Amino acid sequence: MPDNLNTSFPGADTQSWLQTHAINEVECFVPDVNGVLRGKTLPAAKFLKSLDDRALYLPSSAFLVAIDGRYSGSIDEGFAYSDPDMRMVPDVSSLCLAPGSAGRAYVFADTFHMDDRPWMASPRHVLKAVLDLYEQRGWRAVMAPELEFYLTAPNPDPDRPIIAPTGRNGRPESVQHPYDMQALEEFEPVIQRIYAHSAAAGLPLETLIHESGTAQLEINFLHGDPLALADKVLLFKRLARQAAQANGMHATFMAKPIAAQAGSSMHLHMSIVDEAGEPLFAGTDGEDSAMFAQFIGGLQKYVPEIMPLFAPNVNSYRRIRPNHSAPANIEWSHDNRSCGLRVPLGGRAARRIENRLPGADANPYLAMAGSLIAGYLGIEEKLARSAEASGNAYKSKSTLPKTMEEALDRFAACEPVRALLGEDFFQTYLRVKSVELDLFQSVVTAWERDHLLLKV
């Protein structure tokens, strides 16, 4: 492919871009509440036609599918059984090549009612609504995700524990190798495929490291627009899974896939700039601004109340435990990774807060929306942040929910966030997550069989 061809959509004429890249098929994605990519594959001609006639549809039940594939239903029985269509409107700014598939492209779509009202159960619309709140104040949010994941051996029997894959030296990792370059080289073939596919899709990847778990990696994204980055996080997950499978492995973004190993996070770095691009989290003297302190105060107050946006699954709460390589608190400090909220080192332009609580399993749209709405409320309510933590914050008392059940109860009762994110989204999200929790609680686990079967 010539070097001067842009593989992600440059904002030029859509038809010309499709012709330049010989695209004959487009996968049109609608991310659901769990971050699962649902949607349709359509011929390029049909895709172009849909941009004009807006006659591309998807059943609204797509947002009511639980993580096990079952429908969670609706509080409105008539609505659930009629299952009306939503209008899918592709966002051509997200158009990119589908790596490894000649003649195919990817695009994200937004969903609307037939009268063109946004379908507000859509996580993409939820994040857009939060970004609109910022725009109304003359602000622009800037974010940078850091995403951890494990490479694993194939796991065809879910009753058996996950094990590390075999590296280039013919042996699986059995001990931790944090930041070890030689350990990273063991997975060079899959890493190179991930980078090649990500470059073809236009993903703004920055650095990659070997994390502390066996065959655990972390990829950093270049900072930018939250909506575009949320799209790209989901694309990265898709491409990483494909690359791992092509190399005889799996890639998992579970929050806690291996009991004795570190969990996987999606740290979110956040800052706010004004319309001219000037940073608002630090003054010209380089000191923290009042807005920055209030933003942190909002995170401290509201993150514990909306944890399902950062820890969306029962497995998520196995990661958020003291001394398990993840913060179990909402303390803040400068350059202290035992805190849930960390202010990294850097000057005025780099002043930001890192929310270290979201897991790798979190829906990026909702984790970003939740972080930004908590900070926004902190500014609106002029909330004070706590005193800066020092030393080992793992010893701090946790105010976070310890189970999914507690988290959902607190989430449902958080009226300020509920009012801003909307009842349509809350009703849908609570319905899906309550069904998933009920399904999990009906399962008898291996631990119960091991310790209770012959002893109680």
Q: Is residue 361 part of a domain?
A: yes
Report d(CA 230, CA 63) in Å as an integer. 18
Report d(CA 43, CA 30) in Å as an integer. 17
Q: Residues in the chain, how many?
A: 456
- Same domain for 271 and 204: yes
- Same domain for 213 and 96: no
- Phi-psi sector, 283: left (phi>0), alpha (psi -120 to 50), beta: beta
- Same domain for 447 and 414: no
- Same domain for 203 and 290: yes
- Same domain for 152 and 38: no
Pairing of strands 104-112, 25-31: parallel
Residues 6+ apart with CB under 8 A from 59: 83, 84, 85, 86
Residues 215 and 173 sit within 8 Å (Cβ to Cβ): yes
Tokens 């065809």: give the residue: 156
- Across 296-320, b (16+ Cβ under 10 Å) vs e yields bbbbbbbbbbbbbbbbbbbbbbbbb
Report d(CA 75, CA 6) in Å as an integer. 46
Q: Is residue 127 part of a domain?
A: no
Report d(CA 168, CA 85) in Å as an integer. 49
Tokens 């008392």: give the residue: 397
Residues 216 and 262 sit within 8 Å (Cβ to Cβ): yes
Q: Is residue 126 part of a domain?
A: no
Residues 432 and 34 sit within 8 Å (Cβ to Cβ): yes
- Same domain for 384 and 245: yes
Residue 38, H or E segment = strand 37-43
Report d(CA 36, CA 154) in Å as an integer. 21
Question: Residue 5 has what pLDDT?
Answer: 41
Q: How far, CA to CA in Å, does 71 sit from each of 11, 120, 440, 450?
A: 37, 18, 15, 32
Question: Residue 1 has what pLDDT?
Answer: 27
How many domains does the chain fold into? 2
- Same domain for 360 and 221: yes
Q: Give strand ranges (E) for 185-309.
A: 205-210, 216-221, 250-252, 266-274
Q: Is residue 280 part of a domain?
A: yes
Q: Is residue 1 part of a domain?
A: no
Residues 226 and 181 sit within 8 Å (Cβ to Cβ): no
- Same domain for 107 and 194: no
Q: Is residue 124 part of a domain?
A: no
The single-letter code of the amino acid at 2 is P
- Same domain for 225 and 192: yes
Low pLDDT (below 70) residues in the chain: 1-12, 74-81, 323-324
- Pick the closest to residue 205 from 178, 235, 184 (CA basis): 235
- Map residue 89 onto helix, strand or coil: strand
Tokens 């001067």: give the residue: 4
Q: Give strand ranges (E) for 240-340.
A: 250-252, 266-274, 332-334
Question: Residue 394 has what pLDDT?
Answer: 87
Kindly report the number of other CB atoms within 10 A of residue 96's CB atom: 23
Question: Residue 77 has what pLDDT?
Answer: 63
Identify the domain containing residue 23 by its residue range.
Answer: 6-119+422-456
Q: Is residue 318 part of a domain?
A: yes
- Map residue 383 onto helix, strand or coil: coil
Report d(CA 166, CA 190) in Å as an integer. 12
Q: Which residues pair with 28 in a beta bridge?
A: 40, 107
Quote the tokens at residue 363: 């829906």
Question: Residue 32 has what pLDDT?
Answer: 97
Question: Residue 3 has what pLDDT?
Answer: 33
Reported as a single tens digit per residue, the pLDDT across 349-403 is 999 999 999 999 999 999 999 999 999 999 999 999 999 999 888 888 889 999 9
- Same domain for 437 and 364: no
CATH code of 76's domain: 3.10.20.70
- Same domain for 167 and 111: no
- Same domain for 163 and 184: yes
- Pick the closest to residue 221 from 144, 150, 299 (CA basis): 144
- Pick the closest to residue 304 from 433, 421, 401, 420 (CA basis): 401
Q: Is residue 38 part of a domain?
A: yes
Question: Residue 45 has what pLDDT?
Answer: 95
CATH code of 403's domain: 3.30.590.10
Q: Give strand ranges (E) for 153-224.
A: 205-210, 216-221
